[in-house]
């Protein structure tokens, strides 16, 4: 089983190597087309297509490097939020709010602030007038 995995990785590395060669070739083509465009003073509509092809090749190379484990994916992977993590976020928000209130109190003096930990609930049907 290990030999199959090794040969598979080697095959993928060979494909990656070919993609890199294609990217280099396409890069030369894009640069040549851009130089020709500058020299003639006219826009070459084929340059846009060549740039898109080059971009596609580069993205394919990067995707393959991630798949092979050659590069580490740095962006966050979306994860479902658990009740524990949601509660932790709420605690952090409350602590940040409390710290901000302390700063305001020190700078501006005392203020009447509604306690966010125990909000009041008003129900017009049960309140007495």
The verdict on 95 and 52 lying in the same domain is no
Nearest CA to 48 out of 27, 28, 30, 23 is that of 30
Count of the separate structural domains present in the chain: 2
Residue 73, in any domain of the structure: no
Per-residue pLDDT tens for 71-90? 887 776 656 667 777 888 88
| Residue pair 71/16 in contact by the 8 Å Cβ criterion | no
The verdict on 35 and 63 lying in the same domain is yes
Q: For residue 93, what are the domain limits?
A: 83-114
Confidence of residue 93 (pLDDT cuts 50, 70, 90): confident
**67 sits in which H/E element:** helix 45-68
Per-residue pLDDT tens for 4-21? 666 777 888 888 899 999
Residue 44, in any domain of the structure: yes
pTM as predicted = 0.52
Residue 13, in any domain of the structure: yes
């Amino acid at each position: 089983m290990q030999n199959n995995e090794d040969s598979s990785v080697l095959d993928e590395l060979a494909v990656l190597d070919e993609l890199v060669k294609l990217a280099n070739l396409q890069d030369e083509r894009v640069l040549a087309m851009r130089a020709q465009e500058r020299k003639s003073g006219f826009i070459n509509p084929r340059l846009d297509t060549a740039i898109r092809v080059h971009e596609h090749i580069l993205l394919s190379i990067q995707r393959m490097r991630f798949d092979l484990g050659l590069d580490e994916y740095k962006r966050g992977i979306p994860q479902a939020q658990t009740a524990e993590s949601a509660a932790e976020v709420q605690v952090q928000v409350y602590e940040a709010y409390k710290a901000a209130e302390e700063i305001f109190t020190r700078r501006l003096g005392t203020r009447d602030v509604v306690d966010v930990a125990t909000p009041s609930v008003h129900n017009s049907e049960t309140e007495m007038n």
